[in-house]
């Protein structure tokens, strides 16, 4: 959400950039939507008008939908560590929330499983090409189907 229009901030002096970025993190980490709006009103007095306009038209609506008060009950956010990167934990909470739905369109479930699968494929690819700190265990490799062991019960 914020990185998409980072040019709004990068065109400002470095000290002001740091202040604005810190302010956005503080707003995001408030306990309620009302306190986020209050903090934004206080902090925006120090922002240039162009960024203030951008904040209220683009960032504020996104923060209202994804602030820590929204993510914390889903165990997707902690005030200590921030947004969790534990995809399994996040996805588990999404699946648990489905139990409260009377009906769920099949395309939503398929898309959710597709995105989860895609997440792990990206993790696998990063390990395969030794990107970041990801590594594959020796027994985990992609092999052509002709090399895969045959199952008798199929």
pTM of the predicted model as reported, rounded to 2 decimal places: 0.52
**Is 94 found in the same domain as 140?**
yes
Final residue before a domain boundary, out of 15, 46, 73: 73
Distance CA 133, CA 76 (A): 23
Q: Judge whether 23 lies within some domain.
A: yes
Note the helical H segments in 99-147: 106-128
DSSP 11: T
3-state helix, strand, coil in the chain (%, to 5): 65, 5, 35
Q: What domain range is 12 assigned to?
A: 3-73
DSSP 32: S
Res 149: pLDDT: 58
Res 1: pLDDT: 41
Q: Judge whether 32 lies within some domain.
A: yes
Final residue before a domain boundary, out of 73, 102, 120: 73
Q: What is the pLDDT of residues 99-144, one digit of tens each?
A: 887 887 788 778 878 877 887 787 777 777 777 777 777 666 665 5
Q: Is 92 helix (H, G, I), strand (E, B) or coil?
A: helix
User: Number of folded domains in the chain?
Assistant: 2
């Amino acid at each position: 959400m914020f990185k998409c229009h980072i040019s709004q901030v990068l065109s400002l002096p470095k000290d002001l950039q740091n202040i604005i970025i810190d302010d956005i993190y503080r707003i995001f980490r408030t306990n309620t939507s009302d306190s986020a709006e209050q903090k934004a009103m206080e902090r925006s007095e120090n922002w240039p008008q162009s960024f203030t306009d951008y904040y209220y038209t683009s960032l504020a609506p996104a923060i209202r939908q994804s602030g820590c008060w929204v993510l914390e009950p889903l165990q997707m956010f902690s005030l200590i560590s921030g947004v969790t990167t534990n995809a399994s934990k996040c996805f588990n909470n999404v699946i648990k929330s489905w139990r409260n739905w009377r009906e769920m369109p099949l395309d939503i479930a398929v898309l959710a499983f597709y995105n989860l699968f895609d997440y792990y494929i990206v993790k696998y690819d990063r390990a395969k090409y030794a990107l970041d700190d990801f590594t594959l265990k020796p027994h985990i490799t992609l092999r052509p189907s002709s090399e895969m062991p045959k199952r008798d019960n199929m």
